[in-house]
Amino acid sequence: MQNIFIRSIMASAMLLAACASTSAFAQSKTAAEQWPSKTITMISPFAAGTTSDVVARIFGQGLSKVLNVPVIVDNKVGASGNIGMAQFAKAAPDGYTLAMGTITTNAINQALFSKLPFALSDFYALGVVGITPNLLVVPASSSVKTVGDLVQMAKDKPGKLTFGSAGNGTTGQLAGELIKVRTGVDMLHAPYKDATRALTDLAAGEIDFMFYHPAAVMALIQGGRLRPIAVSSSTRSSAAPDVIPVDQQGISDFDLAAWWALYAPAGISPELKVRLRAVTQEVLADPQVVQTLIARGFESKPLRGDEIDIYLAKEADKWADIVKRAGARVD
């Protein structure tokens, strides 16, 4: 009789557990089906007007169009993007806070900084929004016309040439560091809080050169204030087809390009993961979004499913190696 009673208790407990599990699954599924029902915030870890901000706003407009809800870009600036991503890592996993992560925040910084307030495992990648090489630009008044000219000037003036960047850990810094490693020249790195100030100083001749994205420098080039002398990718850029790659100007195996990817908090439900990735692909297939990105110098990277994770993992490994070879470190 006692055994029957115990078995009855156990059966009831198992039934309650099953019901609770079914209820949680149903609630999760319902939440995914009802998403979104309010404004979505997209964190951009760099300043307004920077390339990262441009990408976030182009994608945000497309996302708002697809979902028919407002999408607000919230710039959380500082520490090479780490402040914004650290805040994002603490966001509720409900799909209402997303982030436009970058090659800096989600690849380079992982190797560059000895300690970070977040881990890559805090995030779930929804898609690669765009990629772009950097243009190597100098002041229009500079006598430098080629990469060879730049290297020779650095040899003639050891420790005197200064290259700017949007901050420690950016592709702009590492591209400059890689030139130093490959050629043996001594140049100074000047990290700025944001690229806008760096480009202003570059145009004024306060610094000597800079690697930065076409979307941000084309207006200065067209306005006659900057001159491009090379592109960081191994092939020419559609944004500046007349500019010759560094790789073809005496520094071989030089192929660097920046990327931006949309992320959700890692703790979102499986149903919402599927929904968010599908919506991301829908936005990236929108002709208006595609054409706007292309017009600003970005190229598409139409990856799906596991391809997204594989690409981003390879990029993290690649940039960790570049950081190591460049000897760059921020403690």
Q: What is the DSSP string of 11-40?
A: HHHHHHHHHHHHHHHHHHHHHHHH--SS-E
Residue 329 CB neighbour total at 10 angstroms = 13
For strands 226-231 and 135-139, give the pairing. antiparallel
Instruction: Give yes or no for residue 2 having a pLDDT over 60.
Output: no
Across 127-132, average pLDDT: 94
pLDDT value of residue 302: 83
Q: What phi and psi values does residue 209 have, to the nearest 5 degrees?
A: -160, 170
Residue 13 CB neighbour total at 10 angstroms = 10
Ordered by start, the domain boundaries in the chain are: 39-132+258-326, 135-248
SS3 145: coil
SS3 123: strand
Q: How far apart are CA 232 and CA 33, in angstroms?
A: 43
pLDDT value of residue 29: 58
E strand or H helix at 41: strand 40-44
Instruction: Give yes or no for residue 101 having a pLDDT over 50.
Output: yes
Name the pTM for this structure: 0.78
Considering only CA atoms, which of 251, 205, 201, 207 is closest in space to residue 231? Answer: 251
pLDDT band at 24 (very low <50, low <70, confident <90, very high): very low
pLDDT band at 139 (very low <50, low <70, confident <90, very high): very high
Is the CATH code 1.20.1250.20 the one for domain 39-132+258-326? Answer: no
Across 77-100, average pLDDT: 96
Q: What phi and psi values does residue 38 have, to the nearest 5 degrees?
A: -155, 180
Instruction: Give yes or no for residue 167 having a pLDDT over 90.
Output: no
16, 44, 275, 279, 282 from 60: Cα distances, Å: 43, 11, 17, 12, 13
pLDDT value of residue 17: 52
Q: Which CATH class is domain 135-248?
A: alpha beta
For the record, the structure tokens of 62 come out as 């497309």
Instruction: Give yes or no for residue 13 having a pLDDT over 70.
Output: no
More confident residue, 248 or 80: 248
pLDDT value of residue 26: 47
